[in-house]
Chains A and B, each alone.
Chain A
Amino acid sequence: MSVVTTPATRSPSAPPASSDSAWSRWANAHRKWLFAAPAMAFVAVLIVFPVAWTGYLSLTDAEGSVRAESEFIGFQNYLDVLSDTDRFWPAVWRTVLFTGVVLLVEVVLGMAIALLLWRPFRGEKWVRVAILLPLVATPVAVGMMWRLIFDPNIGMANQLLSWVGIGPQPWLSGQSSALPTTMFIDIWQWTPMVVLILLAGLTSLSDEPQEAALIDGASTWQRFRHVTLPLLMPTVIVAILLRGIDALKTFDILYATKGRGGGSFHEVETLNVYAYGLSFDYNDYGVSSTVLIIFFLIIIGVMWALTYRKKGLER
């Protein structure tokens, strides 16, 4: 943390503050940290200690009960986890696949819908309401809702398919179709978020570059590709950043649709689900902490890369 400096008064012409007590003078002089410190202390205590502890646990063979004796085993857990092709690497792959696919679809679809909503039209208000609904819905309830719709026997999804002559699909209960189905649910719930962010970005753009391109005879696609998109790129990165963090950590809909361990064959077991299971189903704290530290490093890495890219765009 930086050295506490008494903040320079913002307006040198201001008369001495009309405070009577010494406490008031002190509070005003130190208001910068007086205001910021409680919130920071709250977060720091609840984060720094747990993360440090997770880091420590990852170097031990802690298991069973957190109170049980554990031994310091160095980086053995890391070696074990990184050579585990049974659960760990498939979980990494699923996390990457899930995040990559939902981000791509959500941004493309979100962009398309945002462009449709860009210019005012009649009934705009109702479309916006509809877009808000999935966003505010409780993810666990959303997972349950889709579980009924995708039920292979009684679900509406297979019913709809039968009307167009397609045979029943296993959806969530299929070993290879479960993960794509959960991606679909995530896309249903969170594309609206991308729409709202991109729409806010579009609305803030000035009309002039568009008009200039129109006068120059640019086609609709050319105007989007060479005028709108470059101007909107910082907003697109914000959307990817916000959605990406949450997509990497997706837990609720996976747990609601497939239960513990991401299903009996771990079909939807991402890193977050895997770490949760190791901690609270198997009480394998050493290994789970190792997975979490690696997961954390992945998240930080992705965020850093995106922020770096955004800064490059703004320069």
Chain B
Amino acid sequence: MKPSRPFKVFRAVALVVVVASLVAPLLWMILASLKTNVDIYDTEKAFSFSPTLDNYGTVLEQANYVQFIGNSLWVAFAATVLSLILGVPAAYSMSRFNMKKSALVVLMARVIPGVSLLVPWYYVFSNLQMVGGYTVLILSHMFVSLPLIVYIMMGYFDGLPAELEEAALVDGLTHIGAFRRITLPLSVPGVATAGILSFIFSWNNFMFALVLSGADTKTLPVAIFDFVGYASIDWGGLMAAATVVTVPIMVIALFVQKYIVSGLTAGATKG
């Protein structure tokens, strides 16, 4: 069906409004990160100001952000890899053997409010002297990653025809061999989707690190609060910190857009 001409004009105008309202606030944040605090307070200088990178200097040098970037990268990476190792075979089994109830157990992790887990975790892990260490952060972030990966990969395996594996069995491979040599290589796009989304969700996670991280193991979303004081806010530093957290993920997202969309919409169109 061909859209009519008035519709096309209306659509163009409406989409410009949508895109502007989604992008403008982000540009405003980046713009503010390039201003001195004096310029931020001066509404006359909304667009005409002399840009400075001082705020980024503050963030990266004084605020110890290089370390926090490393923390965020390491926690998100480790949680994603471990969750893939646990989650991909589990999703395969749950898909092939139609284990609906077992899948529900894993997906419960997505439903349950994080606070109800944090009190017991904090108690147990502080007794084990693990609070503030990377291990407990990675374990808690796996809680975000694993259900996501199982959910996406189950949908992916559901869509792979079982005939391929059956053919491999006829050719003399074992069941596990068929999974490893036939199914897994075919699942690379699905694993990429699940891995990318898991990394992003872990990178963005705030509540678990808020409670379980220490001064040295803070992840970026927690470290942002260093710029919010009781009396005043260092707006320039805060916006630079917010830019440092969000912009790298957005740049990555541009390159792997297809995967992110297919991951976020997994399970949306089938029963």
Stretch at the interface among B51-59, B62-70, B200-208: B200-208
Q: Are A249 and B90 in contact (CB under 8 A)?
A: no
Q: Which segment of A70-78, A79-87, A136-144, A169-177 sits at the interface?
A: A136-144
Chain A contact residues, majority secondary structure? helix
Distance in angstroms between the alpha carbons of A98 and B49 in the assembled complex: 38
B119 partner residues in chain A, CB cutoff 8 A: 50, 53-54, 57, 66, 279, 285, 288-289
- List residues of A (245-285) whose CB comes within 8 Å of B's CBs: 245, 249, 251-252, 255-256, 259, 272, 275-276, 279-280, 285
Q: Please report which residues of chain B, range 231-271, place their CB below 8 angstroms from some CB of chain A when the two chains form the complex.
A: 235, 238-239, 241-243, 245-246, 249-250, 253-254, 257, 260-261, 264-265, 267-269, 271
* Bound-state Cα–Cα, A303 to B131, Å: 33
Tell me, yes or no, whether B78 is within 8 Å of chain A by CB: no
B14 beta carbon closer than 8 Å to chain A: yes
A50 in contact with B121 (CB, 8 Å): yes
B166: CB under 8 A from chain A?
Answer: yes
Distance (whole angstroms) from the CB of A57 to the closest CB of chain B: 7
**Distance of B61 from chain A, by nearest CB (Å):** 20
Find residues 168-216 in chain A having any chain B CB closer than 8 Å to their own CB.
188, 192-193, 196-197, 199-201, 204, 207, 210-211, 214
Q: How far is the CA of A211 from the CA of B1 in the complex (A)?
A: 8
Does B46 lie at the interface of the complex (its beta carbon under 8 Å from any beta carbon of A)? Answer: yes
Give complex CA distance A272, B115 in Å. 7
B92 at the interface (CB under 8 A from A): yes
Say yes or no: is A60 at the interface (Cβ < 8 Å to chain B).
no
Q: How far is the CA of A154 from the CA of B235 in the complex (A)?
A: 10
Q: Which residues of A contact B250 (CB under 8 A)?
A: 133, 136-137
B139 CB-CB contact with A under 8 Å: yes
Query: B102 an interface residue at 8 Å Cβ cutoff?
Result: yes
Q: Counting CB contacts under 8 A, is B175 at the interface?
A: yes
Q: For the complex, would chain B's binding face be called helix, strand, loop or mixed by DSSP majority?
A: helix
Is the beta-carbon distance between B203 and A138 smaller than 8 angstroms? yes
The answer to whether B172 and A18 have CB atoms under 8 Å apart is: yes
The answer to whether A292 touches B116, judged by C-beta atoms less than 8 angstroms apart, is yes
B23 touches A130 (CB 8 A): yes
A145 to B31 Cα, complex, angstroms:
11
Compute how far the CA of A84 lies from the CA of B142 in the bound complex, rounded to whole angstroms.
36
Complex contact A138–B204 (CB within 8 A): yes
Bound-state Cα–Cα, A127 to B153, Å: 28
- Say yes or no: is B60 at the interface (Cβ < 8 Å to chain A): no
In angstroms, Cα B76 to Cα A254, docked, is 23
The 5 closest A-B pairs by CB, nearest first: A39-B90, A141-B242, A35-B93, A50-B120, A35-B89
Show 18 residue pairs from A and B whose CB-CB distance is below 8 angstroms, ordered by the A residue.
A11-B166, A14-B166, A14-B170, A24-B176, A31-B176, A42-B142, A43-B147, A50-B116, A51-B117, A116-B11, A117-B15, A136-B200, A141-B245, A144-B239, A148-B40, A154-B40, A251-B114, A292-B116
Seen from chain A, the residues whose Cβ lies within 8 Å of a Cβ on chain B are: 1-2, 7, 10-11, 13-15, 17-19, 24, 27-28, 31-36, 38-40, 42-44, 46-47, 49-51, 53-54, 57, 66-67, 113, 116-117, 119, 121, 126-142, 144-146, 148-149, 153-154, 156, 159, 188, 192-193, 196-197, 199-201, 204, 207, 210-211, 214, 234-235, 238-239, 245, 249, 251-252, 255-256, 259, 272, 275-276, 279-280, 285, 288-289, 292-293, 295-296, 299-300, 303, 314
